[in-house]
Amino acid sequence: MGKALDGVRILDFTHVQSGPTCTQLLAWFGADVIKVEKAGAGDVTRGQLQDIPNVDSLYFTMLNHNKRSITLDTKHPRGKAVLERLIRHCDVLVENFAPGALERMGFPYERIRQLNPKMIVASVKGFGPGPYEDCKVYENVAQCAGGAASTTGFDDGPPLVTGAQIGDSGTGLHLALGIVCALYQRNTTGRGQKVLAAMQDGVLNLCRVKLRDQQRLARTGVMKEYPQYPDGRFGSSVPRAGNASGGGQPGWIIKCRGWQTDPNAYLYFIAQAPVWKQICAVIGKPEWITDPDYATPDARLPRLTQVFGEVEKWTMTRTKFEAMAEFNKHDIPCGPILSMEELAAEPSLRATGTVVEVDHPKRGRYLSVGNPIKLSDSPSEVKRSPLLGEHTREVLGELGLSESEIRTLEHEKVI
């Protein structure tokens, strides 16, 4: 059995994080991803946050698995000629340049379409059409502009960005879906099209529950599952909710044994209504099962602080894993706060390929994430990222360039 995207050729003009996550996903599913990098320089992340001098950084290696790398100066006339061949050769062009860069290079969409009407041209930009469409954007700008930061953190503190790269990797995921849809539609239309995933839009899409809450707040003036209720005040926009669950079942992060010295000795606990009796029994508050102040979800809403306080008294005498094991026996939903150290060592994640060890000729073995999406008939195999220009000659040969043409390009530093 081949791979899901066998035969799909991607001209990968992406750099930094958002675009590379998209093309890495497509490569994991079997597409031939040809990453085009600036001659002599390469993707800027190769040299950023290096942990080993002069060796491709983990930043780069973990975002560019299963790709081939060619170097090409696409502003040089001879480089442009090679790029034209690449456009004819590939199915999809993916880019996340600053707005207008592709046009300045001489390759607006119309020109690409002329060269290859079947080509899908997929872009990540910071913003969609509107007042900010010309702005450069990085991860945290998108988190702030997409509604994540204003709703993250505690009510008495400043907005917070989150560690999950929802602006970059999140938008890369959105773009990958757009590309696969456009490829699917091309099967019937025979035509390519443009695909745009704006980072602000992607973040807002992931923050949709907060847009839901904005409308609830506007209508009712209060959100009873938020920690501000009943003692705090609500303003006109959705406040930061601390660790509240954001769903119909209240939750909070509570301390477990060792929290004084271990920053991750915590558990996320959910006071799920269907298991309220079990919760009361486990934490030693059987009277709450019938007490009208605690017996129903609505009665508990103004008393969530007391509820979580009592649960915490119980969890503080156990490790997060002991507490989880006990709660799980009674179907009570909860989850330990896992550190990166714990995740890196977790055998079940290694077994499923979600965390993989990869060999690299210059850095040796390193740890990476593997494909988080599992297809039963198209399993992903994670291959190391390419060295800068490792496949230039190979790809130019496939494009039909002769040895003397390739030497000329080398001589003129176009590749």
Q: Which residues bind ligand CAO (CB under 6 A)?
A: 16-19, 36, 38, 72-75, 96-98, 101, 104-105, 124-126, 136-139, 168
**Least distance in Å: CB of 105 to ligand CAO?**
5
Smaller CB separation from ligand CAO, 16 or 256: 16
The verdict on whether 293 is a catalytic residue reads no
Smaller CB separation from ligand CAO, 139 or 312: 139
SS3 per-residue string spanning the chain: CCCCCCCCEEEEECCCCHHHHHHHHHHHCCCEEEEEECCCCCCHHHHCCCCCCCCCCHHHHCCCCCEEEEECCCCCHHHHHHHHHHHHHCCEEEECCCCCHHHHCCCCHHHHHHHCCCCEEEEEECCCCCCCCCCCCCHHHHHHHCCCHHHCCCCCCCCCCCCCCCCCHHHHHHHHHHHHHHHHHHHHHCCCCEEEEEHHHHHHHHCHHHHHHHHHHHHHCCCCCCCCCCCCCCCCCCCCCCCCCCCCCCEEEEECCCCCCCCCCEEEEECCHHHHHHHHHHHCCHHHHCCCCCCCHHHHHHHHHHHHHHHHHHHCCCCHHHHHHHHHHCCCCEEECCCHHHHHHCHHHHHHCCEEEEEECCCEEEEEECCCCCCCCCCCCCCCCCCCCCCHHHHHHHCCCCHHHHHHHHHCCCC
**Least distance in Å: CB of 387 to ligand CAO?**
16
Smaller CB separation from ligand CAO, 198 or 238: 198
**Least distance in Å: CB of 16 to ligand CAO?**
3
**Least distance in Å: CB of 349 to ligand CAO?**
25
Catalytic residue, from 168, 201, 213, 331: name it: 168
Smaller CB separation from ligand CAO, 111 or 285: 111
**Least distance in Å: CB of 128 to ligand CAO?**
12
Smaller CB separation from ligand CAO, 126 or 147: 126
Catalytic residue IDs? 168
